[in-house]
Amino acid sequence: MNTTRPAAPVPQGQGGERLPLPPADQMTGDQRAVMQDLVNGPRKGVYGPFIPLMRQPKLLERVAQLGEVLRFGGGLPADVRELVISIVACHVGNQFEWVMHVPLAQAAGVPAVALEAIRLRQAPQGLGAAQQAACDFTVALLQQNEVSDAVYQRTATAFGEEGVVELGTLIGYFAMVSWVMNVARTPSRPTADVTPL
């Protein structure tokens, strides 16, 4: 089973950034306010999807709030959350989320060999039962836009109904912000620690 179908060539590698951060002297009051909220919040800066989203400050604010709940206030274990984000990043070909979340996944306990298999679009080995349930759920939703009863039941057994809802929301959220960055050609952070997609 392929973990994820490859996206077309990684968008961040083609052409220049389309929607860079607006210059400070050209920002509106709303843009400056949401930028300050990001700097003062758990992210401690403006990067990734929030750079192109600066064109829509009200939308950015809501997207950031949902992301904060999912990343910093959700109920899923960190290893599961970061594994799922890594799978989504690979599926949609987003270097920024891949480079950012692979180290977080490893630190949370996702085996490096599993992450490398995901990068190569192969079935990961060495996952724990809960990680495997989340992986199967994520791959099914990304590839088929639904999950079978068997996959649903394994996921619900591992995480409960609340976890199933959070998992679906997490997948959708990271697909959404990755697509925004793919359109904007938002570059990833340079790193020597992560093999790019």
Q: How confident is the model at residue 1 (pLDDT cuts 50, 70, 90)?
A: very low
Task: Locate 156 and state its tokens.
Answer: 């619900």
Q: Using alpha carbons only, what angle is made at residue 71 by residues 66 and 73, rounded to the nearest 5 degrees? A: 80
Does residue 190 surpass a pLDDT of 90?
Answer: no
Confirm if 75 and 170 have CB atoms less than 8 A apart.
Answer: no
> How many residues belong to the chain?
197
Q: What is the pLDDT of residue 4?
A: 52
- Residues 6+ positions from 80 with CB-CB distance below 8 Å: 130, 131, 134, 159, 167
pLDDT value at residue 11: 56
C-alpha dihedral, 36 to 77 to 107 to 171, nearest 10°:
-60
Homologous superfamily in CATH for domain 78-184: AhpD-like (1.20.1290.10)
Better-predicted residue by pLDDT, 3 or 60: 60
The residue type at 135: C
pLDDT tens digits for range 34-83? 999 999 999 999 999 999 999 999 999 999 999 999 999 999 999 999 99
DSSP state of 123: -
Residue 5 has pLDDT above 80, yes or no: no
Mean pLDDT of 17-37: 96
- The reported pTM is 0.93
Tokens of 85: 């984000």
Domain boundaries of the chain, sorted by first residue: 17-72, 78-184
Report whether 108 contacts 141 (CB < 8 A).
no
- Cβ proximity of 70 and 81 under 8 Å: yes
Residue pLDDT, tens place only, 84-122: 999 999 999 999 999 999 999 999 999 999 999 999 999
109 exposed, middle or buried (CB, 10 Å; 0-12, 13-18, 19+)?
A: middle
Amino acid identity at 121: R
pLDDT 10s digits, 130-172 = 999 999 999 999 999 999 999 999 999 999 999 999 999 999 9
Closest CA to 92 of 188, 194, 177: 177
pLDDT at position 80 is: 99
Question: Does 2 score more than 60 pLDDT?
Answer: no
pLDDT of residue 12: 61
> One-letter amino acid identity for 41?
G
What tokens appear for 21 in the block?
């951060």
Q: Which residue has the tokens 């099914």?
A: 140
Lowest mean pLDDT among 3-17, 113-127, 144-158, 182-196: 3-17
Counting Cα atoms < 13 Å in the Cβ hemisphere of 193 gives 13
